[in-house]
Structures are given as C-alpha cells and as structure tokens.
C-alpha cells in the first residue's frame, strides 16, 4: 500500500512538472511570435535618409532600402509619409510621384504606381510591419506637412499615431516633422513618443518648452547657430543633423557630439565611426 501511494504521488508530481514545462514552452513560443524585443537597437549615429538606397541604386522610401539600412547596421532608417484622399498612409518624399499628387489621389490610383525595382509605393503599415521584424534599426517616421490644409495635417498626425499604436510599434518609431502643429499634435496624442522638429526656426529652448524630444536641423542651420549644440545638450534635447553627405561635415558633427547624423551615404559614415 505504501508503495502504491508513493507511486501515485510520484505520478502526480511528474504530471505537474510536465504540464509546467508545456506551459513554459507555449509561453516562449507566444513571446517569440510577437517579434523581437525592441531593447537592442544599435547605438551609433547613423540614420539612413529614405533608407540606404544610394550604393546599390535602390528606390528611396522602399522596403528594399529599409532592408539595406538594417543589413549594414544603421541605427535608424528615415521615411516620408503622406495621406491619400481616402485616408491611406503611403511613402514618398515628394508630394507627387510621376505626376500623381498623392493627397489628391485615391489609394487605388497610388497602388498602380511602381518604383524602379518593381515595388509599389509602400504603405506606412507595410513599412512598419517590415521594420518590426527586427530590433537593430529604428524607424524614423517623417510626417509630411499637408499641402491641402492645416486641418488635414492634423488628421494625418492622428492617423499616423493611431497606426503606430495599433501595431504596437511605439518602441520602434521616432517621429519627425517640418510642421510645428503636427509635431504638437503627435506629442499630445502620445506624450511618451520621441518627436523631433525639422524646420530649423525654433531655438532649443522653444522646442523644450513645447515638449519636443529633440531638434533635427539642416547642417546649414547648425553652422549658423553653433551655440545650439551646447544649449540643446544642457536642455537634454536629442540632436540630429541632416542631410550630411561629405566626410568633413560628418567629422565636424561627430566632434560636436551630436546624437545622430542623417545621410544619403550611410556606408561612409559607418566606415568613419568604425575607425
């Protein structure tokens, strides 16, 4: 009888251990299905401007140029977002592509267009989903100012933040914009988001007071206002400078201690910082 009881309790213990191991296995599978944990982003100053496109002749703002930025080890890949007339967020730098004005066109019309490698213009959702399959390169989400109206720009900001939140992409995304109102709207909708201003007409103090994470200014602006480097650092603002394509300017900015440099020549900048 003693033997049978011991055998019974051992069987229960074995069964419970097996169930625990099974549950742990299922938990690990579930976590891995959610994508990589976004805590291991690369710590370098290299932001690929519209993706890493130049060296291999890839289309700008394409999935292919994003993948290239990831592959070569860029800390971020910048991309430009517009909204079609029927409310779909798509990537393109200019207001039009091959003469088709994106804000005035339907998504069906835009989806007929093709980039030089055969890709269609990616939607912001497609781009974010691709970027979220890895945890090396952040996604630098430029919300383009609307040429239609201020109200449409605010609607665009709303849709951009809504998309990022719906995908759970907050940890991957930093926002940038030339439109001060759009920037303020993003900050209001997501106070935890990193939002930087591009236009160059606000001092670091003004940006800090407005709630911005950082300034993201053209190199010309920073050369005209060199005191802004120190002022931004003292205020705890992130400093990014664009679009920097020659070695001399890259070296100067690295000496200034900037956080990021946006460039069409990410390979050059990567080579420089690895010396």
Chain segment 213-272, per-residue pLDDT in tens:
999 999 999 999 999 999 999 999 999 999 999 999 999 999 999 999 999 999 999 999
Distance CA 196, CA 216 (A): 6
Distance CA 220, CA 69 (A): 25
Report the pLDDT value the prediction gives residue 74, as an integer from 0 to 100: 98
pLDDT band at 19 (very low <50, low <70, confident <90, very high): low
- Which tokens is 258 given? 């900037």
Residue with tokens 């993948």: 67
Chain segment 100-119, per-residue pLDDT in tens:
999 999 999 999 999 999 99
Determine if the pTM surpasses 0.85: yes
Chain segment 158-170, per-residue pLDDT in tens:
999 999 999 999 9
**Domain spans of the chain, in order of start:** 1-34, 40-273
Contact 212, 197 (CB under 8 A): yes
pLDDT band at 17 (very low <50, low <70, confident <90, very high): low
Contact 240, 261 (CB under 8 A): yes
Chain segment 215-224, per-residue pLDDT in tens:
999 999 999 9
Report the pLDDT value the prediction gives residue 275, as an integer from 0 to 100: 82
Chain segment 57-93, per-residue pLDDT in tens:
999 999 999 999 999 999 999 999 999 999 999 999 9
pLDDT band at 49 (very low <50, low <70, confident <90, very high): very high
Q: What CATH class does 40-273 carry?
A: alpha beta
Mean pLDDT lowest among 21-25, 143-147, 238-242: 21-25
SS (H, E, C) 209-275: HHCCCEEEEEHHHHHHCCHHHHHHHHHCCEEEEECCCCHHHHHHHHHCCCCEEEECCHHHHHHHHCC
Share of the chain above pLDDT 70, in %: 86
pLDDT band at 148 (very low <50, low <70, confident <90, very high): very high
Report the pLDDT value the prediction gives residue 35, as an integer from 0 to 100: 52
pLDDT band at 23 (very low <50, low <70, confident <90, very high): low
The residues with which 97 forms a beta bridge, in sequence order, are 100
pLDDT above 80: residue 32: no
SS3 137: coil
């Amino acid at each position: 009888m003693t033997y049978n009881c011991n055998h019974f309790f051992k069987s229960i213990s074995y069964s419970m251990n097996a169930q625990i191991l099974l549950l742990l296995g299922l938990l690990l599978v579930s976590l891995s299905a959610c994508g990589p944990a976004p805590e291991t982003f690369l710590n370098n100053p290299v932001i690929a401007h519209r993706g890493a496109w130049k060296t291999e002749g890839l289309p700008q703002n394409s999935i292919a140029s994003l993948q290239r930025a990831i592959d070569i080890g860029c800390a971020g890949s910048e991309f430009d977002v517009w909204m079609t007339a029927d409310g779909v967020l798509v990537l393109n730098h200019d207001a039009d592509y091959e003469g088709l004005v994106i804000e005035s066109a339907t998504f069906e019309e835009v989806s007929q267009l093709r980039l030089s490698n055969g890709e269609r213009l990616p939607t912001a959702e497609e781009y974010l989903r691709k970027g979220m399959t890895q945890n090396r390169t952040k996604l630098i989400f430029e919300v383009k100012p609307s040429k239609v109206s201020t109200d449409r720009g605010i609607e665009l900001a709303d849709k951009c933040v809504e998309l990022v939140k719906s995908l759970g992409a907050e940890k991957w995304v930093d926002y940038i914009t030339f439109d001060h109102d759009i920037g303020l709207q993003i900050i209001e909708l997501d106070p935890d988001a990193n939002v930087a201003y591009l236009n160059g007409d606000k001092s670091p103090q003004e940006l800090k007071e407005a709630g911005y994470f950082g300034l993201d200014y053209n190199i010309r602006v920073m050369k005209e206002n060199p005191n802004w480097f120190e002022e931004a650092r003292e205020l705890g603002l992130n400093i990014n400078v664009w679009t920097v394509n020659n070695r001399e300017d890259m070296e100067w900015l690295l000496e200034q201690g900037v956080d990021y440099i946006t460039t069409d020549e990410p390979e050059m900048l990567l080579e420089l910082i690895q010396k």
